[in-house]
Amino acid sequence: MSILTPLLLRGLTGSARRLPVPRAQVHSRPAREQLRTMDIAIGLTSCFLCFLLPSGWVLSHMDSYTKRE
């Protein structure tokens, strides 16, 4: 590395240091309503149908995918 390398790097990053970084306005509060049992059942059922059912189908038919005909 030459003697000028730190000066060049400082020149490249110097303008970026002065830019303001926006802060996210994140505030958390307690939920307005408690989740009911039916809401939880609907959420778990939809997760099962969307993620686990297709992957289970693929895994159960893995033999037919690996056969070469």
H runs (alpha helix) in the chain: 5-17, 37-47, 53-60, 62-66
Would you state the pLDDT for residue 59? 92
pLDDT in tens, 31-47: 889 999 999 999 999 99
- The pLDDT, as a whole number, for residue 1 is 60
- Report pLDDT for 18: 67
Q: Pick the residue with more confidence: 19 or 26?
A: 26
Q: For 45, what's the count of Cα atoms within 13 Å in the CB-facing half-sphere?
A: 6
Whole-number pLDDT of residue 17: 61
